[in-house]
């Protein structure tokens, strides 16, 4: 911890050179749900850059869900915190200063609804992680079986789910003045705008008839849900970063955010009531965000998951330590090039070689210390956005996606370890909302009890973990089961070699078949 003799970061103690611009916004135009590190290093920084170019009423009111740590610290620091941009050769510290307030939904639920309804609020943004959308693990619509969703629908207490908060806030807005507003998801979901819209509409449709009929027409005409792709690697805060702020700015910041230098934001320009000039902060506006989303969700996030699970099983604490292992780098290259890449169309303005080279540099950023347990957490909600569609594409074309199977095998070994197998401390520290559910399924049909025993994996897939489509391909479950067996008996490097070997054998067979065809034709 930095010495307590240093002044605390605040309005008057920010060194002017660290501030992105001179006049921090006084008015709130954006309410952000999910006051975590990612928002503070991404959207807030882009907003600061937009405001440095053109002033506007675009202050952000940040809303934390339950945790009070960041909101309280921000209030004590007059809404100031530092972003520590860090790469092996360089550290740069800036203070975005775009927040006008910080609330904790669990403590001030009514203030949150008022903020969502306030006439000045033109954009409601959210980074609540994949888990925060209260998806049903079965239908992938809103989870009407979850007690917390049911309670929010009854409405006899303040809403606790993000979707409930948004709908209750929109109801209040509709009744107060009915001005249009935009809801902008900034989470790693395919079609995040459409998915958010679907969940919000499902919630609104399930309200009592009078409430529903009052809300729905306005919701349909006045509230837009653009999709967006967000990208910046943002690890958890540690004392290293608090010390970096103390050394560079001479102040104490309890909640700085570390981040890599890279940052990218692409979104649809469908804002119902205006927006900041985010393009001046480097954001890209497009009519079709999906190719960017798929590029990022699959090449970056999908490969990231494989690196994290293999790394954790190999005892690596950080992503850079993991990718430094040749077998993990090779597996990452294979899944990226051979299995994810054929499943997407690269946007015309993206230089693929450059993008991929940057990905490996970003993962290798050893100064950042991004942890395998952070990327590996919440796999039950993340993998669904990353693995099934590309896997199905290959399976339907008659090809086995060995490295996608390896991703699922390594994930299951980390969070639902087969009997007698200890995945190590990094895997044990991964948080996953499905741990108990997976344990109850694999308790009935243990994973990896025999090499080719796919029942446990089939039961896991049948539970909806990766959607419905993959259950029609039992060979995929068998391959996952085989790879689990290899991990359990010989470790993650052997499993990666097995996946690699299978690809090489299949390639050799394909070449052999093609040569056979050519010979026959001669």
Binding site for ligand CS2 (CB under 6 A): 188, 231-233, 301, 304, 374-375, 382
Q: Which is nearer to ligand CS2, 124 or 375 (CB)?
A: 375
Q: What is the rounded CA–CA span in Å between residue 358 and residue 24?
A: 33
Q: Which is nearer to ligand CS2, 25 or 320 (CB)?
A: 320
Q: What number of other Cβ atoms are within 10 A of residue 388's Cβ?
A: 21
Q: Which is nearer to ligand CS2, 200 or 375 (CB)?
A: 375
Q: Which is nearer to ligand CS2, 39 or 382 (CB)?
A: 382
Q: How far is the CB of 182 from ligand CS2 (least distance, A)?
A: 22
Q: How far is the CB of 106 from ligand CS2 (least distance, A)?
A: 24
The phi, psi pair for 181, rounded to 5°, reads: -160, 160
Q: What is the rounded CA–CA span in Å between residue 279 and residue 265?
A: 9
Q: What number of other Cβ atoms are within 10 A of residue 3's Cβ?
A: 8
Q: How far is the CB of 84 from ligand CS2 (least distance, A)?
A: 16
Q: How far is the CB of 83 from ligand CS2 (least distance, A)?
A: 15
Q: Which is nearer to ligand CS2, 186 or 395 (CB)?
A: 186
β-strands 264-267, 228-231 pairing: antiparallel
Q: How far is the CB of 234 from ligand CS2 (least distance, A)?
A: 7
Nearest to 321 by CA among 357, 370, 258: 370
Q: How far is the CB of 88 from ligand CS2 (least distance, A)?
A: 18
Structure token pair of residue 225: 């849900």
Q: Residue written as tokens 């649809």?
A: 268
Q: What is the rounded CA–CA span in Å between residue 48 and residue 69?
A: 23
Structure token pair of residue 368: 């950042």
Q: How far is the CB of 304 from ligand CS2 (least distance, A)?
A: 4
Q: What is the rounded CA–CA span in Å between residue 61 and residue 462?
A: 42
Q: What is the rounded CA–CA span in Å between residue 69 and residue 81?
A: 13
Q: Which is nearer to ligand CS2, 46 or 201 (CB)?
A: 46
Q: How far is the CB of 37 from ligand CS2 (least distance, A)?
A: 10
Q: Which is nearer to ligand CS2, 188 or 227 (CB)?
A: 188
Q: How far is the CB of 231 from ligand CS2 (least distance, A)?
A: 4
Q: Residue written as tokens 């809103």?
A: 142
Specify the DSSP element, H or E, that contains 100.
Answer: strand 99-104
Nearest to 183 by CA among 195, 64, 280, 175: 195
Q: Which is nearer to ligand CS2, 123 or 295 (CB)?
A: 295
Q: Which is nearer to ligand CS2, 96 or 169 (CB)?
A: 96
Q: How far is the CB of 466 from ligand CS2 (least distance, A)?
A: 16
Q: What number of other Cβ atoms are within 10 A of residue 329's Cβ?
A: 16
Nearest to 266 by CA among 236, 280, 286: 286
430-444 burial string, b = 16+ CB within 10 Å, else e?
Answer: bebebeebbeebbee
Structure token pair of residue 412: 């299951």
Q: Which is nearer to ligand CS2, 201 or 304 (CB)?
A: 304
Q: Residue written as tokens 């809404």?
A: 79
């Amino acid at each position: 911890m930095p010495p307590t003799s240093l002044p605390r970061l605040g309005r008057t103690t920010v060194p002017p050179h660290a501030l992105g611009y001179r006049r921090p916004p006084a008015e709130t135009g954006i309410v952000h749900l999910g006051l975590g590190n990612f928002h503070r290093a991404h959207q807030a920084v882009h907003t600061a850059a937009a405001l440095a170019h053109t002033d506007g009423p675009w202050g952000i009111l940040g809303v934390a869900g339950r945790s009070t740590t960041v909101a309280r610290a921000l209030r004590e620091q007059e809404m100031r915190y530092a972003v520590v941009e860090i790469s092996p050769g360089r550290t740069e510290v800036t203070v975005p200063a775009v927040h006008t307030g910080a609330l904790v939904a669990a403590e001030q639920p009514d203030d949150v609804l008022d903020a969502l309804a306030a006439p000045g609020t033109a954009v409601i943004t959210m980074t609540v992680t994949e888990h925060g959308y209260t998806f049903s693990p079965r239908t992938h619509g809103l989870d009407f079986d979850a007690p917390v969703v049911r309670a929010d629908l009854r409405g006899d207490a303040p809403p606790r789910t993000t979707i409930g908060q948004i709908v209750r806030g929109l109801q209040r807005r509709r009744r107060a003045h009915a001005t249009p507003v935009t809801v902008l998801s900034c989470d790693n979901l395919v079609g995040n705008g459409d998915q958010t819209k679907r969940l919000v509409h499902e919630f609104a449709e399930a309200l009592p008839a009078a409430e529903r009929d009052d809300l729905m027409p306005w919701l349909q005409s006045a509230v837009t849900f653009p999709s967006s792709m967000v990208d910046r690697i943002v690890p958890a805060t540690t004392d290293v970063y608090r010390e970096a702020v103390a050394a560079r700015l001479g102040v104490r910041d309890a909640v700085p955010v570390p981040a890599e230098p890279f940052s990218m934001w692409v979104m649809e320009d469908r804002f119902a009531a205006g927006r900041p000039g985010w393009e001046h902060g480097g954001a890209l506006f497009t009519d079709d965000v999906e190719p960017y989303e798929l590029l990022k969700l699959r090449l970056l996030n999908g490969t990231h998951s494989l690196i994290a699970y293999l790394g954790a099983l190999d005892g690596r604490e950080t992503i850079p330590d993991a990718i430094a292992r040749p077998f993990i780098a090779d597996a990452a290259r294979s899944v990226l090039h051979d299995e994810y890449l054929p499943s997407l169309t690269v946007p015309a303005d993206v230089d693929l070689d450059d993008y991929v080279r940057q990905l490996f540099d970003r993962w290798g950023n050893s100064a950042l210390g991004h942890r395998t347990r952070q990327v590996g957490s919440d796999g039950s909600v993340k993998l669904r956005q990353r693995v099934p569609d590309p896997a199905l594409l290959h399976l339907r074309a008659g090809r086995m996606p060995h490295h996608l199977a390896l991703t699922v095998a390594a994930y299951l070994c980390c969070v639902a370890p087969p009997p007698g197998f200890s995945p190590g401390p990094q895997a044990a520290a991964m948080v996953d909302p499905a741990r108990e559910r997976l344990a109850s399924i694999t308790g009935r049909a243990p994973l990896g009890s025999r090499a080719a025993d796919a029942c446990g994996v089939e039961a896991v897939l049948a539970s909806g973990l990766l959607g419905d489509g993959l259950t029609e391909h039992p060979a995929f479950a068998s391959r996952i089961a085989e790879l689990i067996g290899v991990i359990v008996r010989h470790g993650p490097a052997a499993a990666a070699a097995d996946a690699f070997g299978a690809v090489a054998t299949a390639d050799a067979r394909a070449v052999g078949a093609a040569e056979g065809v050519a010979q026959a034709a001669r």
